[in-house]
Structures are given as structure tokens and as C-alpha cells.
Amino acid sequence: MNNIQRSTSDFEIITAIIENYFNGLHDGDVTKLRSIFHQDAWLKAPGVRRSLEQWLEAVADRSVPAQQSKPFNFKILSIDVVQDQAMAKIQCPLFDFNYIDFLGFLKEQGQWLIVNKMYTDVKSEKLIG
């Protein structure tokens, strides 16, 4: 397989993981979210650091956007893939927040997983794109 084919395949896999991320957030599906994150992932925002388990507990304890008929307006803004690492910039309007997330991915043992999430709320700014 040449690099272009590999990149396209990896790009498609990462895009599918991001779609699962969006669906997991919207549906409050902790099992789906856990399946796409590496177990030692950390989630970071300015002044906030949470382990994957802490974040998943918070997701499990909050309202479920889909059950509240909240709109599904998540958007992929960019994805960069370099060999076995990738970075995605995504927009996640969720409840009264407008998050911009940077998701870091690594491909290890043939599997892509999210290893890092950085996020911030930009609700005071115009929606991206």
C-alpha cells in the first residue's frame, strides 16, 4: 500500500471515530465514547484537567442532548494525518456551549484512538465556518 492509499484509509478511519465521538456526545453514550479513547487519555481545558474516567462519569451524570431535542450541529473543521499521528479540530455546540476541541490521535498496534483532548468554549465568538 502506498502512502496516499494509507493516508486516505487512515483519514477515513479518523473521520469515522470523530463521527462516533459526535454521536456519543449527543446520545450520552459512555460506552461508545470509551471505545474511541485510549485508557490513559486526558482532557484539558484552560484551568481544567480530567482523566478519561472523570470525564465519562460527568457525561453519564449530565442531561442527554438527544433526549432534550438539542440540535446536532457538530462539525469537523480540519484533520491532519502524519504517519501514525493525527490532530483534528472540531466544533461541538453542546447545551449552552460552543466548544472547539482539538483531538489528538495515535495509531498503535494498528488501531487509531484519541489520546488527548483539549477544548475551550468560544460561545462569545461567532460560530466557526
pLDDT, tens only, 56-72? 999 999 988 888 888 89
Considering only residues 128 and 55, tell me which one the structure prediction assigns the higher pLDDT.
55
Looking at the domain 3-121, which fold is it? Answer: Nuclear Transport Factor 2; Chain: A, (3.10.450)
State the chain's mean pLDDT as an integer: 90
Q: Is the pLDDT of residue 2 over 60?
A: no
Q: What is the pLDDT of residue 95?
A: 85
Any residues with CB less than 8 A from the CB of 60 and at least 6 apart, and which? Answer: 28, 30
